[in-house]
Structure 1
Amino acid sequence: MKISIIADEISQDPHAAVYIGSQMWNVNQYELRMIEGKRVPDIDDRQVAQLEVIKEKYDIVYSAIGAGLFKCEPDDSAIERQFERLDKAIQLAKRLDVRTITGFALQDAQTHRSKEFRDKMVPHFQKVCKRIQGEGLQFAVETEYMTGVETARDARELIDQVPGLKINWDPANAWVAGEHPLEGYPLIRDCIANVHCKDADSKAWRERNPFVAFGDGLVPWDEIIPLLLRDSSVQTLTVETHIGPLIPKSEKSVRRLRALIQSIKNNQLTIEKGGAQ
């Protein structure tokens, strides 16, 4: 199991982010989201060339492109503008050898995900999957509150209507939206392309930012990680710190995630050895 981190959770300067992450924290995979104030893929050729140089210099992998696609109002003109960004994301992914592009299932401020809303959403994501699969890539919709896919259950309903769609599972987002991760995981275990790791200490997300450093909250990661370690399709866990100050909080989150993974592996090994005696 590899640990990745969203690069701008360290710094929006990609060189600084990768230098700190790789040389100080031994992290060699990075999800791309924000660079120098711009959302990927809305970066210029100079910045793309810089990402190529960094990749070669530090021998790293870009694990996903967090393009923020389709986090927009559910009207046709707004959605069509996102398809233009999707094309840019595809070209960037091919240039940087990235397989996964992530996005969202439109904004749903009423959080009711009505049949009318879903009927509008489905054909757009069918079009997304057809476009992206033709390039040998995959599109993963993130579980995010106040969108059309808040929880794993929402994701399952959408996937059943959009073959080939994948999930960027964020258990903390689903948790603050009211779903326990152990109830959500079995519904989407066959279609997880990316996992975001952060923590939350409250479900009162309408009142304040509920997120805290990994291990400081209430999300049951000690129960989630063993499931993911047994899932051969999940190769990478991506730290999404989501709270400042970024560098110390990100370092703490990486360190705790790595320690939890190792502890679970050690415990499983002990159980296996004990059972073999």
Structure 2
Amino acid sequence: MKSVSRRQFVGGAAGVVASLSLPIRAWAASSPFKIAVISDEISQDFDHACSVIAKDFGLHYVELREMWGKNLQASSDAEIAEAQKILAKYDLQVTDIASPLFKVDWPGAPKSQYGSKGDMHGAQEVAYKQQDEVLARSISLAKQFKTDKIRCFDFWRLDDVAPYRAAINEKLRATADIVGQQGLLLVIENEFACNTATGREAAKVLNAIQSPHFALNWDAGNAVMRGELDAFPAGWDALPKNRIHHCHCKNAIKDASGKIVWSPVDKGYVDWTAQFRALKQAGYRDAVSLETHWRGAATPEASTRISWDGMKQALINSGTF
């Protein structure tokens, strides 16, 4: 073993102590990931949510979906201006616009049994013919909030998507081209109630749509909820790693009755320490965004704080925080 002088040892030890005493936001800034939280998972009060993210969690990034009881799609100019002031106040950057784009039935197909069931995060479920308006609004919001990513979905899940798969892929490809012309990236989330729900399904869609403007928002928790209990590592292994440009962090587990339910980040089928390590090894440098969904504590904020504790520990254990 190489010998170390007392001066080198003391100097090295002092460096470690100094790094440990750094403000938590300096720790977050040193991560290879853009560590974020979807603000409305904490509170509909955008100022309070941003305060928690920046001051209590020590983070630099936020994902936007709802504010003040409204989906971002319905925000007024005044509300957008106020949100921009709040972001500047807490020195937060926006990772992406978490839009409801294509969370609708595919035209001409049987009506999906999944539908919205009220799970639209403040957005009104509009018809397929109005999706161009949702897209235009999302592009505008991305530019106003200075982000280059727009999240979309893959239409409400069909019992048999095969007859419609090629047409759906073409719609996604054409939409990605529109987004790309604006200098933005369309990221499709694998969503348990939509046609692309698992890692294996996402891999097939990405393979079919070879567009530089089309990427994946990887959500291992959603894959588990759809029944892909081996979302990590098997679902993950199926994915082209260079096509992943956003990541949601949540977890799910089976309850006493055998039903899959949301759980805190550190309890469930997804080993987030291993997943974060795999992301780092794959060269991933985009956002990992906490999307708690679990509501086992007294309030959404309390639940998110518990999940953040688990997520933070997984980041530390994986060497990415």
TM-score normalised by L of structure 2: 0.77
Partner of 2:179 in structure 1?
132
Name the CA shift for 1:144/1:121 in 2 (closer, same or farther; >3 Å): same
* Structure 1 residue 131: Cα displacement: 0.5
SS at structure 1 position matched to 2:268: coil
SS at structure 1 position matched to 2:128: helix
Partner of 2:220 in structure 1?
171
1:86 paired to 2:135: yes
Whose Rg is larger?
Answer: 2
SS at structure 1 position matched to 2:99: strand
CA contact (8 A) 2:156 2:193 kept: yes
* Structure 1 residue 42: Cα displacement: 2.2
What is the letter of the counterpart of residue 215 of structure 1? D
SS at structure 2 position matched to 1:210: strand
Partner of 1:215 in structure 2?
266
CA shift digits 1:191-229 (9 cap, x unpaired): 111100001112999x96710111122222232121012
Q: 195-204 or 26-35: which moved more?
A: 195-204
Root-mean-square deviation (CA, aligned residues, Å) is 2.1
Q: Distance in 2 between matches of 1:209 and 1:34?
A: 26
Q: Distance in 2 between matches of 1:203 and 1:234?
A: 34
Q: Distance in 1 between matches of 2:244 and 2:294?
A: 25
Q: Which runs of 4+ in 1 moved over 3 A?
A: none
- Structure 1 residues not aligned, in runs of 5+: 267-277
CA contact (8 A) 1:152 1:188 kept: no
CA contact (8 A) 1:74 1:107 kept: yes
* Structure 1 residue 178: Cα displacement: 2.8
CA contact (8 A) 1:176 1:202 kept: no
Correspondent of 2:284 among 228, 233, 237: 233
What is the letter of the counterpart of residue 78 of structure 1? A
SS at structure 2 position matched to 1:160: helix
* Structure 1 residue 176: Cα displacement: 2.4
Q: Distance in 1 between matches of 2:240 and 2:199?
A: 6
CA shift digits 1:77-113 (9 cap, x unpaired): 9323112111111011111111111111001142x33
Partner of 1:189 in structure 2?
241
SS at structure 2 position matched to 1:41: helix
In the TM superposition, 1:96-115 aligns within 5 A as 96-110=145-159, 112-114=160-162
CA contact (8 A) 2:224 2:269 kept: no
SS at structure 2 position matched to 1:105: coil
Partner of 2:44 in structure 1?
12
Name the CA shift for 1:204/1:90 in 2 (closer, same or farther; >3 Å): farther
In the TM superposition, 1:196-207 aligns within 5 A as 196-202=248-254
Q: Report how many residues are paired.
A: 263
Name the CA shift for 1:37/1:109 in 2 (closer, same or farther; >3 Å): farther
Partner of 1:22 in structure 2?
54
1:250 paired to 2:250: no
**Percent of paired sites with the same residue:** 25
Name the CA shift for 1:135/1:204 in 2 (closer, same or farther; >3 Å): farther
What is the letter of the counterpart of residue 310 of structure 2? R
1:61 paired to 2:93: yes
TM-score normalised by L of structure 1: 0.88
* Structure 1 residue 5: Cα displacement: 0.4
What is the letter of the counterpart of residue 304 of structure 2? S
SS at structure 1 position matched to 2:294: coil
1:35 paired to 2:67: yes
